[in-house]
């Protein structure tokens, strides 16, 4: 089965978390005597469960090649996880709502193409594919939950054998297709 | 008086907070079946004082021109504040240690040129100049403290009249001088 790539937008992503981006939809105001505009409080950082704390890391991602088959989804039940690209390179975001307490609803799997300047914050417990960089190695700033090594904060759900492929579709952004697909 | 621009490094910045960057000095490990390297927990996010919470914003900064005179320092007594550039453009970081409980020690003011891929996290209470973007408008991801509007989380210290100028010096990175100074 093909999973068609669609544009990332705040509205489409709302069931899964927040899009982190400069937008007039966000509350914003001028600071620093006019030298900066603050786009304020763009993501719900939800990391305090079970004694967690916020942490900042950098993920350096190796690129994938399209077409690709999806292998697994994961979720972090105890905390949100934000990814902000530190480059202008495109990347993909694959998410699914829950089917029940332990499984994603694969019939409602979505794949979003993030544009330049778009990050995402996965709400705690959201099923998502690991980072899908394309084209070249690129870095992401990550804000997620730090806790005890014994905390149970990662579930995985295998997709191999399901023959799920990422594919360009009618709504795939044209800029994405021309840049990213061999 | 001229304040000479020097390179940003983790060691030089240690009295003021952390440099957020990919470095073999950081703990790092491979994740996502080999498709990413996690440079782990690079900044001390310290935002819980007085009921605070972590928040993620984007600052869109207008560029300054060099030479420039410094006008003021500020500090956030209740929380750390991290800035990660979302472009490869250079920017400057001006900080000072405290002289006493209410004033920065201007004799020990420092100005660091951040290179591509370098962010900073100001420790709670660190005196710093507002964002100093150069060359062009650029965006920064900011992780700082959200709290009540009535919280006292910003002090300012005026520098105008002190005739403090940012200037290229013998340790200013050559790449910075050639790119950034008219």
Q: Is the pLDDT of residue A182 over 60?
A: no
Residue % of chain B over a pLDDT of 90:
89
Residue-wise pLDDT for A87-107, tens only, equals 999 999 999 999 999 999 999
Q: What is residue B66's predicted lDDT score, i.e. its pLDDT?
A: 87
CA distance B69 to B88: 24
What band does A76 get if pLDDT is binned at 50, 70 and 90?
A: very high
Q: Is the pLDDT of residue A29 over 60?
A: yes
CB atoms A20 and B45 under 8 Å: no
Neighboring chain A residues of B33 at a CB cutoff of 8 Å: 71, 130
Distance of CA A93 to the CA centre of its chain: 5
Q: Tell me, yes or no, if B131 comes closer than 8 A to chain A by beta carbon.
A: yes
Closest CA to A111 of A182, A24, A180: A180
Mean pLDDT of B76-100: 97
Mean pLDDT of B42-46: 98
Residue % of chain B over a pLDDT of 70:
97
Q: Is the pLDDT of residue A63 over 90?
A: yes
- As a whole number of Å, the end-to-end CA separation of chain B is 20
Q: Tell me, yes or no, if B55 comes closer than 8 A to chain A by beta carbon.
A: yes
Q: Which of residues 26-45 of A touch B (CB under 8 A)?
A: 31-43, 45
Please spell the DSSP secondary structure of chain A, one letter per residue: -EEEEEE--HHHHTTTEEEE---TTS-EEEEGGGTEEEEEEEE-----GGG-EEEEEEEEEPPB-SS-B--EEEE-TT--EEEEESSS--EEEEEE-BSSSS-B-GGG-EEEEE-TT-EEEEPTT-EE-S-EEBSS-EEEEEEEEE--TT----EEEE-TTS--EEEE-TTS-HHHHHHH--
In chain A, what are the domain boundaries? 2-180
CB atoms B20 and A55 under 8 Å: no
CA-nearest residue to B32 within chain A is A130
Residue-wise pLDDT for B99-140, tens only, equals 999 999 999 999 999 999 999 999 999 999 999 999 899 999
Residue % of chain A over a pLDDT of 90:
89
CB atoms B43 and A56 under 8 Å: yes
CA distance B85 to B71: 23
Tokens 């794949």 found at: A111
Domain topology for B2-180:
Jelly Rolls (2.60.120)
Task: Tell me which H or E stretch contains B10.
Answer: helix B10-13
Q: Tell me, yes or no, if B21 comes closer than 8 A to chain A by beta carbon.
A: yes
CA distance B2 to B164: 6
What band does A177 get if pLDDT is binned at 50, 70 and 90?
A: confident
Distances (CA, A) of A130 to A76, B22, B103, B163: 12, 20, 47, 52
CB atoms B82 and A56 under 8 Å: yes
What band does A174 get if pLDDT is binned at 50, 70 and 90?
A: confident
In angstroms, the separation between the Cα of residue B36 and the nearest Cα of chain A is: 4
Q: Is the pLDDT of residue A178 over 80?
A: no
pTM equals 0.96
What is the complex's ipTM, to 2 decimals?
0.96
What band does B182 get if pLDDT is binned at 50, 70 and 90?
A: very low
Residue-wise pLDDT for A131-165, tens only, equals 999 989 999 999 999 999 999 999 999 998 899 99
Closest CA to B111 of B6, B1, B2: B6
Residue A40 burial (10 A CB sphere; 0-12, 13-18, 19+)? middle
């Amino acid at each position: 089965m093909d999973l068609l790539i669609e544009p990332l937008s705040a509205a489409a992503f709302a069931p899964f978390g927040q899009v982190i981006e400069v937008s007039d939809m966000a509350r914003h105001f001028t600071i620093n005597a006019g030298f900066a505009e603050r786009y304020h409080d763009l993501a719900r950082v939800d990391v305090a469960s079970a004694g967690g704390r916020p942490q900042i890391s950098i993920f350096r991602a190796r690129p994938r090649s399209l077409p690709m088959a999806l292998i697994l989804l994961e979720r972090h039940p105890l905390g949100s996880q934000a990814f902000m690209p530190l480059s202008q390179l495109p990347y993909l975001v694959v998410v699914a709502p829950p089917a029940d307490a332990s499984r994603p609803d694969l019939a409602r799997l979505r794949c979003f193409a993030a544009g330049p300047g778009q990050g995402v914050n996965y709400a705690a417990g959201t099923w998502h594919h690991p980072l899908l960089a394309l084209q070249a190695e690129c870095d992401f700033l990550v804000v997620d939950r730090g806790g005890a090594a014994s905390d149970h904060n990662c579930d995985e759900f295998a997709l191999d054998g399901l023959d799920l492929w990422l594919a360009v579709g009618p709504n795939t952004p044209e800029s994405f297709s021309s840049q990213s697909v061999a």
